[in-house]
Structure 1
Amino acid sequence: MRKTTFPKIKNITLLALMLVFSIAFSQNSNDIKFQGETYEMPENIATFQWNQMPESAKLNNGYVGWIQFYETPSQQVQDLFKRNNLQLLEYIPNKTYLFNFPTTTSISLLKSNGVRTIVPVDGNAKLSADLKRGNYDYWAKDGDNILVTLQYYKNVSNNYAVNQLAQHQISVKQNYSEQNTIDLSIPNNCLETLSNLSFVKWVDLVVAPSIKDDTRGRSLHRANSLDTQTGAGRNYTGAGIGVMVRDDGRVGPHIDFQGRLTNLTNISNQSHGDGVAGIMAGAGNLIPSNRGMAAGSDVYVVNYASTFLDPQTVNLINDGSVQITNSSYSNGCNGGYTSITQTVDQQTLDTPSLLHVFSAGNSNNQDCGYGAGNQWGNITGGHKQGKNVIATANVDYRGELRNSSSRGPAHDGRIKPDITANGHNQISTNENNTYQTFSGTSGAAPGIAGISAQLYQAYGNLNGGDFPPSALIKATLLNTANEAGNIGPDYKFGWGIVNALQAVKLIEENHYLSDEVSQGTTKNHTINVPAGTTQVRFMVYWSDAAATPGASPALVNDLDMVVTDPSSNVLEPWILDPTPNPITLDNPATNGPDHLNNVEQVLINDPAAGNYVIDISGFNVPMGPQEYYVVYELISDHVTMTFPNGGEHFAPNYVEALHWDETNTTEDFVLEYSTDNGSTWNNIATVANDTQYYNWNVPNEVGANTLVRVTSGTFQDVSDAVFNIAKTVANVNVIKVCPDTASFEWNVVDDAESYDFYLLGEKFMEVVGTSNTNSITIPITDPADEMWFAVRAKNATEGWESERTNAKRYGGGILDCTVGISENTFDNSLLLFPNPAKNEVNISLLDKTYGSFNITVANSLGQILDRKMNINNTSKGTINVSNYSSGIYFVTIKAGENVSTKKLVVQ
């Protein structure tokens, strides 16, 4: 490690920004450590004069540089500086700030308020380690030039910055004028000149190329309990919340986003964004079991831009359209605290209701330079290293971590990933009303984003429609996550696997508070823990000030939490040892003061009843005051059945994954079911105590009074309400479409007394009629309109109902309807032969007044199989059906404004 001493001469020329990977300085050291170099800070305040500052430190009738205090300044001193327009722009660890002061600043004022050192910024300190290494990858090259991102000071106009660059023959590639950032193409020998310009704050290589993070989750996430789709349960669909898909292009068309989708990109024929959107916000209109998390949220789709400064993203955040974003992309690996990390952290501070959710990456087994081999420190992309964002790890539906899921720590030892969700083998939406199997942390992140939208709605319902601070939602998610991996947080699962049910209970029960703390002060909060509590979790979380790019550690405001129990025992939070050693990194968490993370938790098993005092102190708050949230979870049950939990629709002989939560149990779990509302019980299985799921082959017993029970020793829980077992309706078809009505039929379901008939409405499948037979005729307004339809069987006497069938599409047009001669002229002029067919079908029009016609062939699911456009009416159209499976198909012919659909039987 190189050590640099600042010379005590009039023209001081060097200093650097921040800390390398070091957990703390020695107590008496005034050094600044940054990117492998150590810089000594001379104690020069006694002799300092402003005329010692070089030309490169002069900016806008003032000076920029670094200022170090003897001690972190109190809030009174910080406020005094603000009143005197003495800007402490960014905090550099070890009591040092980047400053911008007017030329008239009184040195005696600085001296009397604890200032120790004032030095200019050397250009070398403004360059990232990647730039100084000089080994540029292909994506950072532009011919013989290199591509860099430049940040300039906020009080510098964009025009001034661009003009200064033009005078030095530096080419602007991309100008983010409202974000004080410019992408440049520069010669390699231009770096020194560029970095020594006074308005330049930081220079780094442009971000690495974007890579998609792709390689069933509602019940594992417990999100089913937030969106029960029943009158009695919770119905948090994310309605009124804007979610953003930042991905590879347009989403859809797909009826699972009916009435809720805004595409702001013209890129098509890509499927990654479709998969993300379906997990986050699909409504399950087409197939009910494929419903996503926030099925009522408003979905905005933009292209992924690695800077997070693209106009679509910025505008939708700033105008309040979007509260939650999802980006399932990587840009490099273990990138450290970059200018993009700073951007996403600052966006959260500027818009407190904004929550950025990211995939952690699929780069495990890759050594990304943390120093502990290829199983650690491989979180991808600088944006994921943010303190105020969420990075998500990936498990399967059983809660088992996928080997590819990237692992922490963050570059400076902070806990990453933050949380874990199911991203493996998720069934999600694809283009043209189809579905795809989706895997990787790309699928895990939108699960968290969707659940967050549900929590936003829950908070709004309790708070007059207001959006919650994202800090509260993130704290709630982390504090209520199910334990996974090692006890306490770890570098594989973060704080655990998301538990949406426990999270929403925390919001509903108002188990949170907020306050603020300043340098050297302490706030006390008393929380009563009732008798019978199995476990209590206290967590403090704060959205931290954005750090300077390159910072390590990146924590700016350092708060400490301790909990004092009713017996006056003092309890400290979990901490992990980030030493770059594979054994150390895999060790369970211990307890002690945490000076790396902006989240701390104290967990107590079998707590004594009484008052617990939560002390939050400002250990080091250089950019205060700091707002924080304390959230607490009181768990009274040792076991909790979470799926099925009431109102579900199961089909006989199908496999369903049962899920339950456990706290402090030791004995195996005994699973049973009842079909008579708990009067009698039947054995399902006994599973090991370290398992919280079971694949149940649903019995062939139709009824509405079904429950599942889980037992561990003396602890037991039952589904909150009964659920259904019933056969699903089969073979739903349209049989006739006339100008004013449409008729449908389906197979009879044994013991069904009635059937609900659904059509696709403004956003969801809606009941438009009920029939006591296996057919129905409904009124329609335009026979040319497409229809998506489905059916549910019911027995009111016994109280059961089946799952709704998958939606089927009819493309529109008169079908097998005898109408008046004038109305039926076009239909009668159509010839479709042979029908039934085996190899080919011919279509022609007898009415030659039409110059041409179009043909579309669809299967019974509404999927388009063939199209022929602009067929000359002097000839016939021919469709090859030799590869079609036997069954019923629909042939739609359109000529001019006339449309008709015919049934086609393929043998």
Structure 2
Amino acid sequence: MSSRYAIHFITLLTILATIPYFAVQGQDSAMVCRYAAGNVLTAASRQGTAVEDIYLVRFPNYPGSRVLSELGVLKSPSPQFHIVRKIPADTTVTVWRANNNWKASPKLLDKLESLHPADSLTIFANTSAAGPFTVLAHPSTNVYEVRLAKKDWPQFATAPQLQAADVSRLPRTEATVANSDLRVNRVSTLHANLPGLRGSGMRISLKESLYDTTDLDLRPRYIPTATAPDRVDAHATLMATLIAGNGNSGPLGTGAAPQARIASSDFTRLLPDAAASFTTYGLQAQNHSYGTGIENYYGLEAAAYDEQQFETDTFLHVFSSGNIGTNAPGEGIYSGIAAFANLSGTFKQAKNVLVAGATDGSFHVAPLSSRGPCYDGRIKPELVVYGPGGTSDAAALLSGIGLLVREQYRLQTGQALPAALTAAVLINSAADVGAPGPDFTSGFGAVNAWEAVKTIMERRYVMNAVQQGGSFTFGITVPPNTHSLKITLRYTDLPAAANSAVALVNDLDLWVTDAAGRRYDPLTLSAFPHRDSLVRHALPGRDSLNNTEQVVLRLPAAGDYTVHATGRRVMGAQRFAIAWQLAAADAFGWDNPAVSETLDAGTEHTLRWSTTITGPGKIYYRPGTGNWQPVADVTEVAEEKGAWVAPQAFGMAQLRMEAGGKVFDGPLFRLAPRVKPATGFICEDSALVWWRPATGAAMYRVYRLNGDGYVLFAETRDTFFAFRPSAVPSGIIAVSAVADAEGPRSEGHLVSAGVPGCYIRNFTADLEATGEVKLQLELGTAVGVAAIRWIRQGAVLGSAAPSNSLNYTATDAQPPEGIVYYHAELELQNGRIIVSDAVPVQVTGASGFIVFPNPASGKIMLMSKALRGQRIVITDMQGRICRVLQQEALLQEISLHGLPAGIYWIGVYENGRKLYHTRFVKVQ
């Protein structure tokens, strides 16, 4: 046994039972020290076992889920080690009686092993068993906070009612760099097609830190709650913006549901918030963009979230999968397999919540995105969403999209959308990415917001319930020339007991039959703990692990099909939802630009479309009803994206795709320039913003931010606008160009940002190598300026007439020696004078040195052009040395204290060479 595990072994002697040395090494030794309660059971001792005994068994290799199920598996700490209720008949299996440590999470056991027997710790458990423990109940989740000494853990763990125990962990947010693009998952397509669907009436909670409630894109939609955290964090602000930013700051500040309202809840308590609080504050969903590290078990939090989701029915929880996608788990049947089974938190092992992974803009799953399978082989994440900054972004966008789906359902039915139907619709409408069918990296595919809402609009869903052995069927007619039929079943399952070896309780089956009676089963994945199995493509089969099942028919024959949902193993009646989608062969549809959308002129755009066509294509463009012009060749249309630099134009435009021998014209959209306002000046009584002319613009509209939105302030044909600052309390202005129609509004511009003064942005005066002084003036605007004057030491040095330029220069060819002060002076057309700050310039002349004042009394100043540690010597008229000192500054003060009145010489020397020599007078 290694020294590390020997220490663990000695420690555990004090808290468990006497654990002898076993003939096992390395990781095996650690497992035995942690979970065994005695010696290896011999063949004879195996005969005397009791029905209630629990065993630790070691197989030479992973025995498979069927064998473990027959043995009554309780926990699988590794592929070889398992906690079971029955002793295997296989004589190659080593058997020990198990202690009760299997009820504890790996992190709790780590904590116990690190403590002294007398030390105390706080744990969370599903019971408050009697004993020398301090208990604080959490009745809302049936989880208790218990304070106990390490030595008391064995007694606490023997309680029959104890299912699981864990310790508090510190959550960490899961985003790096923010970058929003609503076009990737077709949110912008949804916004363009349904401009009235913006999350109105929807309310969501962010479980993490508090977001900035004063943020330009989020005010004033904060919902104060009793669970709100105190600390404001930029990550939370980003999540809130991705979900519900209203775009006041600009396009990147627009979220999926920009009219939704947002609450915050502290994530330092990882258990679910009380369901009653959701009702109190009218909340419909909660976003969880955080993690705690790889936790491959069905812990207290996973069971609690499943229970809450089951009881609330219509509430939706969305989690990020994690940002540790390349890591390998250290516990469970998938331990040691890199880039699999690394979801960051046991709460993400819950079956009834949605978990989101992250993709780039081309639907490639990011390497950092955590992936499945779950500890028991279930598919996670269910979905992937654009999240270049991490899976936090992906979860937030999925939450926002979920709000829009729920809003559409409420508009149509007047009711709240069940969580199971929300999941079924989002999963069924997702685009298959990565390996064909579901996989443990991308789940069931990349979210498509527009297709999800269309599923609700077209009522392509059913909801029903089945009991044990019961069945439900309905028909779907498949038209000719169909590319695929996809059907997804989802149900909110009963919560399993915490620490369950398998999370699924009720088992429903989905399958489809055609008119000839041929059966089509759902796609299933191999959950065997080996990399070769985990990367294997999905194949049709019966699913006994997941509460989501999906049947996909490729190129189905036209005709009538029957969808079946049956209760294979059901307690009571299990409600479920089924969504379906038909995709036509040779289908093509433009997503970006969408109908009536406005694209920025002169900017590169990513064009996006949805299609079932494969092969090359060619993109064309035409302005209005003009001639078609080639834009780009597309190597593979199935990649569904292309680049286009929009021309500098103002007006209607259209795109065309030629692919698969067909022509697909896109909707009419608008090209218009986006202006960028800047501040010309801001004074106490007036301010001015300006912008560069926009090609084709006939006029401009100026908006001011008022509350949580913009209101029209003025219209002008000029490229500047003056106003009183008091008329814009928010200080934020936006501008749009107008021709035959209005172009996109600019980003919100804070008028006072980066503006140091009134009219004058910057004034400098610099001594050139030629001995001249160069003066430079930068204005915020020349509008209203009548004259510019250059001032030296209070006297006018010269003047300039204002022009269209904002930059002006002048030169003082013969500046006097010494410290000379310059400033610029503006005379406005209304007669007002505006003066810049004075700028001092040290002018030393040809010698490079100046002594002043002269005559002097208490001190003189020596000004130098360069500092090289020169020696300064003061002598009287008889040549006697009065002072010797080192030059330490370009402007050095020299005290004359103690020198009698008279005439003196001061000299500057470098390496024995005289650089400067002059006389000065010392007066009384």
Q: Compute the RMSD of aligned alpha carbons.
A: 3.9
Contact in 1 for aligned 2:478/2:559 (Cα 8 Å): yes
2:353 is matched with which residue?
389
One of 135, 138, 141 as aligned partner of 1:176:
138
Change beyond 3 A, Cα 1:327–1:6:
farther
Partner of 2:654: helix, strand, or coil? strand
Deviation at 1:305, TM superposition (A): 3.1
Change beyond 3 A, Cα 1:832–1:775:
closer
Partner of 1:539: helix, strand, or coil? strand
> Residues 527-561 of structure 1: CA distance to partner in whole angstroms, max 9, x if unpaired?
22233432211111111111111222211111111
| Count of aligned pairs between the two proteins | 712
d(CA) in 1 for partners of 2:512, 2:116: 53
Deviation at 1:184, TM superposition (A): 2.0
| One-letter amino acid of the counterpart of residue 600, structure 2 | A
> Residues 141-196 of structure 1: CA distance to partner in whole angstroms, max 9, x if unpaired?
998234321113xxxxxxxx5xx65xx33134x54233222222322332232234
Deviation at 1:656, TM superposition (A): 1.2
2:628 is matched with which residue?
680
Deviation at 1:459, TM superposition (A): 1.1
Higher RCO (CA-CA < 8 Å; seq separation 6+): 1
Deviation at 1:838, TM superposition (A): 4.0
Change beyond 3 A, Cα 1:906–1:714:
farther
Partner of 1:243: helix, strand, or coil? strand
d(CA) in 1 for partners of 2:421, 2:707: 33
Q: TM-score, normalised by structure 1?
A: 0.71
d(CA) in 1 for partners of 2:141, 2:461: 34
| One-letter amino acid of the counterpart of residue 699, structure 2 | S
Give the percent of matched residue pairs that are identical in Structure 1 and Structure 2: 23
| One-letter amino acid of the counterpart of residue 39, structure 1 | R
Partner of 1:220: helix, strand, or coil? coil
Contact in 1 for aligned 2:141/2:271 (Cα 8 Å): no
1:795 is matched with which residue?
739
Partner of 2:246: helix, strand, or coil? coil
d(CA) in 2 for partners of 1:682, 1:277: 41
Q: TM-score, normalised by structure 2?
A: 0.70
Q: Is 2:750 the counterpart of 1:809?
A: yes
2:678 is matched with which residue?
731
One of 193, 206, 209 as aligned partner of 1:245:
206
Q: From the CA coordinates, give the structure whose radius of gyration is larger.
A: 2
Change beyond 3 A, Cα 1:835–1:634:
closer
Contact in 1 for aligned 2:507/2:568 (Cα 8 Å): yes
1:292 is matched with which residue?
255
Deviation at 1:727, TM superposition (A): 4.7
Change beyond 3 A, Cα 1:795–1:570:
same
Deviation at 1:403, TM superposition (A): 1.2
Deviation at 1:808, TM superposition (A): 1.7
One of 708, 729, 744 as aligned partner of 1:763:
708
d(CA) in 1 for partners of 2:757, 2:543: 76
Deviation at 1:457, TM superposition (A): 1.1
Contact in 2 for aligned 1:288/1:804 (Cα 8 Å): no
Q: Is 2:371 the counterpart of 1:407?
A: yes
Contact in 2 for aligned 1:250/1:263 (Cα 8 Å): no
Deviation at 1:688, TM superposition (A): 2.5
Deviation at 1:377, TM superposition (A): 1.1
1:868 is matched with which residue?
none
2:148 is matched with which residue?
186
| One-letter amino acid of the counterpart of residue 803, structure 1 | P
Partner of 1:135: helix, strand, or coil? helix
One of 686, 695, 699 as aligned partner of 2:647:
699
d(CA) in 2 for partners of 1:579, 1:124: 27
Deviation at 1:642, TM superposition (A): 0.9
Deviation at 1:389, TM superposition (A): 0.8
Contact in 2 for aligned 1:737/1:743 (Cα 8 Å): no
d(CA) in 2 for partners of 1:396, 1:418: 17
> Residues 286-308 of structure 1: CA distance to partner in whole angstroms, max 9, x if unpaired?
11243111111101122213423
Deviation at 1:383, TM superposition (A): 0.8
Partner of 1:474: helix, strand, or coil? helix
One of 613, 637, 660 as aligned partner of 1:713:
660
d(CA) in 2 for partners of 1:9, 1:583: 41
| One-letter amino acid of the counterpart of residue 390, structure 1 | L
d(CA) in 2 for partners of 1:722, 1:832: 42
Contact in 1 for aligned 2:369/2:391 (Cα 8 Å): yes
Contact in 2 for aligned 1:225/1:234 (Cα 8 Å): no
d(CA) in 2 for partners of 1:416, 1:481: 15
> Residues 536-595 of structure 1: CA distance to partner in whole angstroms, max 9, x if unpaired?
111111111111112222111111111012332211110000111111111111111111
| One-letter amino acid of the counterpart of residue 590, structure 1 | L
d(CA) in 1 for partners of 2:313, 2:485: 28
1:282 is matched with which residue?
245
One of 523, 536, 547 as aligned partner of 1:587:
536
d(CA) in 2 for partners of 1:302, 1:558: 34
d(CA) in 2 for partners of 1:385, 1:353: 20
Q: How does 1:192-591 map onto structure 2 within 5 Å? A: 192-197=154-159, 200-215=161-176, 216-228=180-192, 233-262=194-223, 265=228, 267-268=230-231, 270-310=233-273, 314-368=275-329, 369=331, 370-371=334-335, 373-424=337-388, 439-464=389-414, 466-591=415-540
One of 63, 67, 83 as aligned partner of 1:37:
83
Deviation at 1:132, TM superposition (A): 11
Partner of 2:191: helix, strand, or coil? coil
Change beyond 3 A, Cα 1:668–1:143:
farther
> Residues 406-449 of structure 1: CA distance to partner in whole angstroms, max 9, x if unpaired?
1211111111111101110xxxxxxxxxxxxxx11111110111
Partner of 2:426: helix, strand, or coil? helix
d(CA) in 2 for partners of 1:810, 1:520: 69
Deviation at 1:488, TM superposition (A): 0.2
d(CA) in 1 for partners of 2:605, 2:232: 33
Deviation at 1:337, TM superposition (A): 0.8
Change beyond 3 A, Cα 1:647–1:28:
closer
| One-letter amino acid of the counterpart of residue 205, structure 2 | M
Partner of 2:377: helix, strand, or coil? coil
| One-letter amino acid of the counterpart of residue 250, structure 2 | I
Contact in 1 for aligned 2:689/2:751 (Cα 8 Å): no
d(CA) in 1 for partners of 2:709, 2:489: 39
Contact in 2 for aligned 1:736/1:744 (Cα 8 Å): no
d(CA) in 1 for partners of 2:507, 2:531: 27
Change beyond 3 A, Cα 1:564–1:6:
farther
Change beyond 3 A, Cα 1:141–1:23:
farther
Contact in 1 for aligned 2:523/2:549 (Cα 8 Å): yes
| One-letter amino acid of the counterpart of residue 488, structure 1 | G
Structure 1: 5+ residue runs without aligned partners? 43-121, 153-160, 425-438, 816-830, 841-858, 861-885, 889-901
